[in-house]
A and B are shown apart, each in its own frame.
Chain A
Amino acid sequence: MNIMVCIKQVPETRKVKIDPETHTLIRQGVESMINPFDLFAVEAALRLKDEKGGKVVAVTMGPPQAEEALREVVALGVDEVALFSDRAFAGADTWATSYVLAQGARKLGPFDLIVCGKQAVDGDTAQVGPGLAERLGWPYVAFVRRIRGLDGRDMVVERLMDDGYDVVRFAPPALLTVVKEIGEIRVPSFKGKMRAKNLKVPVLSAADIEADPEMCGLKGSATRVIKVFAPKPREKRELWEGEAEELAQRLLHRLSEDKIISIAV
């Protein structure tokens, strides 16, 4: 089974700050990491490979330094990688991103399966995976918590829902987005780390994947970011516990005391 995994390099979430003046992410000097959900996608793909054979190809769209993310997953056991990097890709929204990934998948494939994390922790849209499936005209299942396996030509997976899970059967090729319940991410191996260190990461441009520059990056994006802002920190809060009636009384008094309401006597 040949599997493509999409990963994204995101700012180290615990360290990211927003510039109060410009309202944009302060990216300078902030370390990067692989989007945590994407590591679960890698794990899911590697488990399928361990079981069924084949190969796992990890791809990412990003600036040249995103190759570090690809090296990291090679250390985990990913067979091949590709970095889609071109000035034309800059400023892409999920629509333009899914276009580039789809072109990349066509170029590097054929694949039986594409696995993505359920969402990236920086944008939090959860749209690129499903968008990519649409671009390819493939079925997709989002929020997969377990891959039960193959049943003849069909694959059976469990999709996490608010109130339990669905069992979904489909015929590959297809796309899955996975949640953390898929399983614990393996540790790298020393041989994998050595391979990663010595690996030359193939960088593919728009021309290499036959992508129309008009459909990539900011030009190909259907949305524009007008403003990003940090919500003001909330003011001092109090937490009261007790019986509803007593709390209602207390609240009434307090609102009256603070002259927010006045109680007619």
Chain B
Amino acid sequence: MDYFWTEEQIMLRDLARQIARERIVPVRAELDEKEEFPRQLMKDLAAADLFGVVIPEEYGGLGFGCLENCLVVEELAWGCAGVTTSFAASALGSYPLLLFGSEEQKKKYLPAIASGTKLAAFALTESTAGSDAAGIQTRAVKDGDHYVLNGTKQWITNAGEADIYSVIAITDPAKGARGASAFLVEKGDPGFSFGKKETKMGIRASCTGELIFQDCRLPAERLLGREGLGFIVVMKTFDQSRPGVGAQAIGLAQAALDEAAAFARTRVQFGKAIINFQAVQHMLADMATQIEAARALVYSVARFIDSGAKEVSKESAMAKCFPSDVAMRATTDAVQILGGHGYMREYPVEKMMRDAKILQIYEGTNQIQRNIIGQELNKEYGRRK
């Protein structure tokens, strides 16, 4: 399908594609096996200017929008969803700053994130706060011109590898959801340390771990926006980032389809290549159709977001939920088409299937996405007379 990209968009996509093919694919199995953070690849992506895609040019970025970010993420995820998670988590960590940062905060942090010399991370989840963000227990207490943070964040992508963390903490427990605030925390801040690194089912080329705050004193200027804005920061950040998860899903699903179709053309059973059997053809046809539908949805929503639309939660949730369900199905079917080969680690599709699962879980489970879509529908139809 031709989506009529501009020359610049094609250049950007081709650059990401080149990195995926030349740099990521050759090392992905080893990174997965060793559960290793892809430091060299992060350097390559930085040298290619790709960490700056969504950051305005005045802060050293490329000044593109959600759509171009999706293009890059899709291409990288075709190579490895784990590596892409490490990459995309930096954008996720920088959205609070982009959306709510003061001019001073942006000037201080964005150039380093754009150049890739520093990675960012986003920290919301805690042991008692997953889908229910109101369960956050990390506290930030004002103390003169400082805030003092106490608590533990878990399952934070890029924990320990990132230098800049957007952290959600409760400043006023009496106010419930309106009592949360967002802070910028730097690696090396006093009282800020890292806990255990998790071992995971998939996306093993990404690093997931704990952030521990023990009387972590932050200058007051590390507050993003103002006190009480924490959940707004979270929601607006996810509105921007969720199509990126969708893009990751379509890149991964496309890779699974590519593997499955290529295999089906060469695998001979009953005297012919198995792609000639309708049972296989129909699986491939469904994969291809669903992937294209997901892709069109992701691009449309990204364009909608880039148009400056105010209310994008419903569309953004759709652009995460549908593609990630497609990716789970497509990768599962790819394993099925490869059969015994697909189940073996020697072939890349079992990793793809393991990697796909997280896309239905992180940045809001797909059940939460459906809640968002449903609630928005309820609002929309409620307005109608």
Interface-central residue, A186, A187, A194, by most chain B CB under 10 Å: A187
Q: Does B12 contact A (CB under 8 A)?
A: yes
**Contact residues in A for B23 (Cβ distance below 8 Å):** 187
Output the least CB separation between A176 and chain B (Å): 24
Q: Does A13 contact B (CB under 8 A)?
A: no
In the complex, the answer to whether A190 meets B49 with C-beta atoms within 8 Å is yes
Report Cα–Cα, A193/B50, bound state, in Å: 12
Q: Does A191 contact B (CB under 8 A)?
A: yes
Output the least CB separation between A46 and chain B (Å): 11
In the complex, the answer to whether A187 meets B11 with C-beta atoms within 8 Å is no
**Contact residues in A for B7 (Cβ distance below 8 Å):** 197
Report Cα–Cα, A108/B216, bound state, in Å: 57
In the complex, the answer to whether B47 meets A193 with C-beta atoms within 8 Å is no
* Complex: chain A residue closest to B50, CB-CB: A190
Q: How many A-B residue pairs have CB under 8 A?
A: 33
Q: Does B372 contact A (CB under 8 A)?
A: no
User: Interface readout for A13-43 with B: 1 if CB under 8 Å, 0 if not?
Assistant: 0000000000000000000000000000000
Output the least CB separation between A72 and chain B (Å): 12
Q: Does A137 contact B (CB under 8 A)?
A: no
User: Interface readout for B38-67 with A: 1 if CB under 8 Å, 0 if not?
Assistant: 000000100111101000000000100000
A 191-210 contacts with B by CB, 8 A? 191, 193-194, 197
* Complex: chain B residue closest to A191, CB-CB: B49
In the complex, the answer to whether A187 meets B62 with C-beta atoms within 8 Å is no
In the complex, the answer to whether A189 meets B47 with C-beta atoms within 8 Å is yes
Q: Which of B14-22, B145-153, B332-340 contacts A (4 or more CB under 8 A)?
A: B14-22
**Contact residues in A for B8 (Cβ distance below 8 Å):** 194
Q: Does A63 contact B (CB under 8 A)?
A: no
Q: How many residues of B contact A (CB 8 A)?
A: 16
Contact of B47 among A186, A194, A197 (CB under 8 A): A186
Report Cα–Cα, A188/B7, bound state, in Å: 16
* Complex: chain A residue closest to B49, CB-CB: A190
Interface-central residue, B8, B15, B52, B62, by most chain A CB under 10 Å: B15
* Complex: chain A residue closest to B22, CB-CB: A187
Output the least CB separation between A134 and chain B (Å): 36
Contact of A187 among B12, B19, B52 (CB under 8 A): B19
* Complex: chain A residue closest to B14, CB-CB: A193
Known interface pairs A194-B11, A197-B11; A189-B44 also in contact (CB < 8 Å): no
Contact of A193 among B15, B19, B22 (CB under 8 A): B15
A 155-204 contacts with B by CB, 8 A? 186-191, 193-194, 197
In the complex, the answer to whether B49 meets A187 with C-beta atoms within 8 Å is no
* Complex: chain B residue closest to A185, CB-CB: B22
* Complex: chain B residue closest to A76, CB-CB: B47
Report Cα–Cα, A188/B11, bound state, in Å: 11
**Contact residues in B for A186 (Cβ distance below 8 Å):** 44, 47
**Contact residues in A for B19 (Cβ distance below 8 Å):** 187
Report Cα–Cα, A197/B8, bound state, in Å: 10
Report Cα–Cα, A191/B116, bound state, in Å: 14
Report Cα–Cα, A189/B62, bound state, in Å: 11
**Contact residues in B for A194 (Cβ distance below 8 Å):** 8, 11
Report Cα–Cα, A72/B7, bound state, in Å: 16
Output the least CB separation between A96 and chain B (Å): 36
* Complex: chain B residue closest to A77, CB-CB: B47
Report Cα–Cα, A187/B23, bound state, in Å: 9
**Contact residues in A for B52 (Cβ distance below 8 Å):** 190
**Contact residues in B for A193 (Cβ distance below 8 Å):** 11, 15
**Contact residues in A for B48 (Cβ distance below 8 Å):** 187-190
Output the least CB separation between A45 and chain B (Å): 16
**Contact residues in B for A189 (Cβ distance below 8 Å):** 15, 47-49
In the complex, the answer to whether B47 meets A190 with C-beta atoms within 8 Å is no
In the complex, the answer to whether A190 meets B18 with C-beta atoms within 8 Å is no
* Complex: chain A residue closest to B18, CB-CB: A187
In the complex, the answer to whether B44 meets A190 with C-beta atoms within 8 Å is no
Report Cα–Cα, A191/B52, bound state, in Å: 10
* Complex: chain A residue closest to B12, CB-CB: A190
Report Cα–Cα, A194/B49, bound state, in Å: 11
In the complex, the answer to whether B22 meets A190 with C-beta atoms within 8 Å is no
Report Cα–Cα, A189/B18, bound state, in Å: 11
Report Cα–Cα, A189/B14, bound state, in Å: 11
* Complex: chain A residue closest to B40, CB-CB: A184
User: Interface readout for B138-165 with A: 1 if CB under 8 Å, 0 if not?
Assistant: 0000000000000000000000000000
Output the least CB separation between B164 and chain A (Å): 22
**Contact residues in A for B15 (Cβ distance below 8 Å):** 187-190, 193
Output the least CB separation between A191 and chain B (Å): 5
Report Cα–Cα, A227/B252, bound state, in Å: 52
27 A-B Cβ contacts within 8 A?
Answer: A186-B44, A186-B47, A187-B15, A187-B18, A187-B22, A187-B23, A187-B44, A188-B15, A188-B18, A189-B47, A189-B48, A189-B49, A190-B11, A190-B15, A190-B48, A190-B49, A190-B50, A190-B52, A190-B62, A191-B49, A191-B62, A193-B11, A193-B15, A194-B8, A194-B11, A197-B7, A197-B11
Q: Which 8 A-B pairs have the closest CB atoms?
A: A190-B49, A189-B49, A189-B48, A193-B11, A187-B48, A191-B49, A187-B19, A187-B44
